[in-house]
Structure 1
Amino acid sequence: MAWNEPGGNKNDPWKNRGGREQGPPDLDDVFKNLFGKFGKSGGNGGGSGKSLGGIGAGILVGLLIAIWVISGFYTIREAERGVVLRFGEYHKQVEPGLRWAPTFVDSVIPVDVQSIRDQSSSGSMLTEDENVVSVQMEMQYRVVDPFRWTFAVENPEKSLSQSLDSAIRYVVGHSRMDDVLTDGREMTRQRVWEELQGIIEPYNMGVSIIDMNFRDARPPEQVKDAFDDAIAAQEDEQRFIREAEAYAREIEPRARGQVNRMNEEAQAYKERVTLEAQGEVARFEELLPQFERAPVVTRERIYLETMEEVLGNTSKILVDSKGGNNMMYLPLDKIMDRQRENAKPTSRNTLEGLQMPVTNEGGRNRNSSPTSGLRGDTFREGR
């Protein structure tokens, strides 16, 4: 049975020792007894006790010194630089590696100078044209001066966050909503970057801005559908402009070609008309002496040549009606068309087969060929 089980166990180690009840030993009494024993041994030993006390004190001091020296070793990683403070004041900056600093005298603050850090900011902001937009931007930066990063401002991360928020609100407040939401986002991002550089430069915080990202920009949810329609209309506008430019690039060379062709045709027509006019002038200059020598013959010749040119381009129908009731109808153009269709030379027998009744001068009907009638009419017209 265990000593602390109920039922009157008498095996409690703190009871019934020496015939009396006793509790757990008092720590103060333990230490008093221990130091008392050391004091008695020192008093009894005389000089030997003093030497043992000195050796113990020396060992204790050596141990403390060893612990102090060992505790001063520290390591700076490759991506870090150490800022050493001596009694709370800046002393130096150390490079990566195993280093030693006296404990309780120097303190070392490691600062990461290679990692790319990010800081974001977002919020609803009022634009220049009094519209509310929700903007989210993210900044990436890196520490380049550990001392300035540690001591230039009290809280560098918070200072950077406030500076970024201030830069975004300033730029958005001086921009139109369409520029922030649509085609002016790249310009807005660049302006925020420049504004942030101007804000943090007087503080000399020891940081370098690596990049600035425009994560999101959107209108309030209440008017989001209307803004989506506006953005779609702007995209359609740009698409129509590109299509019109493509059509212009396609049609312009064709139009220029037509213009050049018309100019060349007009120039050729001008030259042709000019040359024809000059030829007519030369012809009349040649006819003038002949007309002066024989005006009647020359006039008749000019008349015949003119009629030949005019009648050569028109359809001709010859009618012979001289007395009586019979009439000869001779469509010469039809006959010529039939000859061309047959592609054969017209024989005299073919023409003689087309005989029509013709009234002669004596009033009697006689059969004569169209050729004879044509010949007689021609001679009569010539006379």
Structure 2
Amino acid sequence: MALKIARRGQIPPFIVMDVLRAANERAAAGEDVLHLEIGQPCTGAPQGVIAAAKRALDGDLLGYTDAFGILPLRQRLAGHYRDQYGVAADPARIVATPGSSGGFILAFLAAFEPGDRVALAAPGYPAYRNILIALDIEPVEIPAGPETGYQPTPELLEKAREQGRIDGLIVASPANPTGTMLTPDALRDLAVYCHDEGIRLISDEIYHGIEYEQQATTALTYSDSAVVVNSFSKYFSMTGWRLGWLVLPEDLLRPVECLGQNLFINASTLAQHAACGAFDCREELDLNVERYRLNRDILLDALPKAGLTELSRADGAFYVYADVARHTNDSAEFCRRLLAETGVAITPGMDFDPLRGNRFVRLSFAGSTESVEDAAARIARFMR
């Protein structure tokens, strides 16, 4: 007799990982690949992180920590909010998590019941939608376009509420896949609207620090009820260390603590000790951001010349979201052909917007400048 497979595990794939697998298979066959599909810095952790990790390996048992993480890390994070944003964040409200992914799971479980409806902009990071589905929480995708910077607004939320209640809203600024950012006023308006309407705001701030025209604003500036999610993966260049954090409102502290104790026990102890050194490495990390800026400018100059003229603003993060509708109505096939014919790996928009993503692709410029220049030239030849 066939055994049952749980419905919650039958969620859509994270397509970018499928693209990465195809690119790696091409590389394993001896063909060259330029990786513009994956949102991962090409640099490793900064030297201060490596040094802190070595000290921990030499001098610490690396046993369990409190579910919320080691106090020195939470204190450094509180200092980060004070220094970067002028915001007081009590270390008691900060939680070290197994990556931002673990943070989202904890936040969603603590804040929402099965059957609750959580709004998010489309296009948006696909794992939001898929984690919600796996937890029996209904994602309510709000189609957003360039007129709002692909970001939600109170007006779009009002329109979504005509179809049913909204219990939560996920915002990301800078956003994946577009790189667009909310202005401080726009974030304030969303935060105030959500607080007044009893909607739990989840603010994804994992690309903070990677900005080009204006500094990102934290939701903590405007809301005591919002949940902030962040990670050491992007600006701090620590993807494989799998360490993130939450800043929680008071009412979610004990629920998240109990969930964390039972689901994860604690985030990686070694990664926590290592991350304490990350905040002393800003000069090194800001050089990475300058490289991203140069890479962004290369693509924003080259892609329109190649015929891809409708591009997201790319205010921050390391992505450009490009409309390819003038050339194809099948972005997945477009990406397959581009990889097969040029070795350039990019991601089809279906990952980020199931309804309109067939018209879009995402390009990541987190790699080396040489690889981005080479990729731009190959794309230009492909488009002729």
Task: Answer yes or no: same fold by TM over 0.5.
Answer: no
Query: Which of the pair is proportionally richer in strand?
Result: 1
Higher helix share: 1
Name the TM-score, length of structure 2 as normaliser: 0.16
Structure 1 length-normalised TM: 0.16
More relative contact order, 1 or 2 (CA 8 Å, 6+ apart): 2
